[in-house]
Amino acid sequence: MTTTRALRGRLLASLVAVALLLLAAPAPSSAHVAPATAASDEADTLKTVYFDMFAQQRVKPRRIFLSANAGQYLKRLRWSDWGSATTTAAGTFVSDCASCPPPEKRGAEVRMKRLRSCTKKGVQTYRKIVVTLSEPSEGNDVVRFTLPGGCP
């Protein structure tokens, strides 16, 4: 008789555990999503990042370093439309190293476009990055340069 009670107790405990697991599990979706839609929905939900020179993920970076050894950099970047097909930022280009050409500071615009999924990282990033400075270094030509983009 004690064996029967022990079995009933174990059975009841097992049923309670299964019920709790079922309550904690997310409800299955009743609608079937086509693979193409699922892929585009996944891209819409991925976090958008910029990979810096050390392959660190940055969301709406306020500062972008252009070299690792006290060289030029962009600061005070203010982004619009981050995560959309094209995003732009306005900020300041700083060129205060000993061998950098004048002027030391000037306005800069950063434009990133061509979003790409980085499936191994679970994020998306921009493939094309162009920086345009508000005034030339020396001479009269507009200064425009690209930065590396895409997945590391």
Task: Print the SS3 string covering 20-44.
Answer: HHHHHCCCCCCCCCCHHHHHHHHHH
CA–CA separation, 102 and 96 (whole Å): 8
Nearest to 64 by CA among 72, 73, 55, 56: 73
Burial class (CB in 10 A: 0-12, 13-18, 19+), 61: buried
Its domain, for residue 102, covers: 35-147
Note whether residue 11 is domain-resident.
Answer: no
Note whether residue 91 is domain-resident.
Answer: yes
Encoding tokens for residue 86?
């094209």
How does strand 47-51 pair with strand 123-133? parallel
pTM, rounded to two decimals:
0.66
Note whether residue 24 is domain-resident.
Answer: no
Note whether residue 10 is domain-resident.
Answer: no
Hey, CA dihedral for 9, 13, 18, 19, is it positive or negative? positive
CA–CA separation, 60 and 138 (whole Å): 30
Number of Cβ within a 10 Å radius of residue 33: 10
Note whether residue 123 is domain-resident.
Answer: yes
pLDDT of residue 116: 94
Question: Would residue 114 be called left, alpha or beta, if left means φ above 0 and alpha means ψ between -120 and 50 degrees?
Answer: left
Burial class (CB in 10 A: 0-12, 13-18, 19+), 93: buried
pLDDT of residue 139: 66
Number of domains in the chain: 1
Name residues of the chain where pLDDT drops below 70: 1-44, 69, 136-140
pLDDT of residue 73: 92
Note whether residue 15 is domain-resident.
Answer: no
**3-state class (DSSP) for residue 119:** coil
pLDDT of residue 97: 79
Residue 63 — φ and ψ, nearest 5°? Answer: -140, 135
Note whether residue 5 is domain-resident.
Answer: no
Note whether residue 140 is domain-resident.
Answer: yes
